[in-house]
Amino acid sequence: MPERSPSAARPAAEDAGAPTGAAGEGALIAQGLRYVNAWKGRTVVVKFGGSVLEANGGGTLAQDLVLLKGAGIHPVLVHGGGPEITRVLERLGRASTFVNGLRVTDAETMEVVEMVLAGRTNKALVSMIIQHGGQAVGLSGKDGRLLVARKRQGDVDLGQVGEIQEVHPELLIRLSEQGYIPVVASLGIGEDGASYNLNADTAAGALAVAVGASKFILLTDVQGVYRDYDGERRLISDLRAADAEALIRDGSISRGMIPKVEACLEALRGGVPSAHIISGSVPHALLVELFTERGIGTMLLPS
């Protein structure tokens, strides 16, 4: 399977000495078509953060997903919706409390979480895909027991915040095989039928493993993983799992980036060949990541 070259500084058609003009465009198209052919029949799990939806209304996400499906690739979209949940809670006069990046979710908050994720946000994304000519089906982790969860344990009681116990992707796979793009809200269901609020990064990583994805991509509101080099903050293009774990331990990777990187690491441990953290604000970010030699953002690989 082709991967972007770790040593490539620019796309092939832009390299020094590469053909320019019509010849250069032809070479770039040929390169893209080779990648498209290599990816046919493969599954790509994409996690889309609520912050990206807030910032640019989804950008080219829906269009890219439809193009991927048309090219014979099977995208699965997993989403959160944190900013919208917070806004609805504020309108109801309820403050949001977070512990280590996780929303404290009592019973009333869980009702809002479920309403926003499985309702407004999920159906908005389904509508966007249909508007661009695709076929999409909105699901939550509760449908078909897709994401079975239990109450998250810890020093602080977070309420109905869950951790994933089992993934049952049969319904999702069947829908994808029938030509639909599954759009999954990050909710879980307990063995007793209770609803759980799940971290969307973690849910997406678990799904990537369960469906045997060839690639796991997180679209977020930053360019990727950064590190300080001699006082200058630079984007890390390629990152091995062991190095990522070391950067978490020494604090170079911190705050909201930790769950994203940890989700990528779990996906890699589960057999997904590569995971990527890229900016959702870049036009056609998914296509650039999949079909060019350089790609964008940070690519994580097994150690």
Catalytic-role residue among 49, 50, 81, 224: 50
Q: Strand pairing of 298-301 and 275-279? A: antiparallel
Closest by alpha carbon to 27, among 35, 36, 18? Answer: 18
Written as six digits, the tokens of 279 are 């900016």
Q: Which helix (H) or strand (E) is 102 found in, with range?
A: strand 102-103
| C-alpha separations of 3 from 10, 182, 248 in Å | 14, 25, 25
Residue 169: how many CA atoms within 13 Å on its side-chain side?
A: 21
Catalytic-role residue among 80, 81, 82, 297: 82
| Cα separation, 177 vs 219, whole angstroms | 24
Catalytic-role residue among 58, 143, 162, 201: 201
Task: Give the SS3 label for residue 22.
Answer: helix
Catalytic-role residue among 224, 260, 295, 297: 260
50 is an active site residue: yes
CB neighbour list of residue 240: distance below 8 Å, 6 or more residues apart = 300, 301, 302, 303
201 is an active site residue: yes
CB neighbour list of residue 95: distance below 8 Å, 6 or more residues apart = 89
| Cα separation, 273 vs 255, whole angstroms | 25
| Cα separation, 264 vs 299, whole angstroms | 10
| Cα separation, 131 vs 160, whole angstroms | 34
| Cα separation, 24 vs 20, whole angstroms | 4
Catalytic-role residue among 47, 69, 142, 215: 47
Q: Annotated active-site positions, please?
A: 47, 50, 82, 201, 260
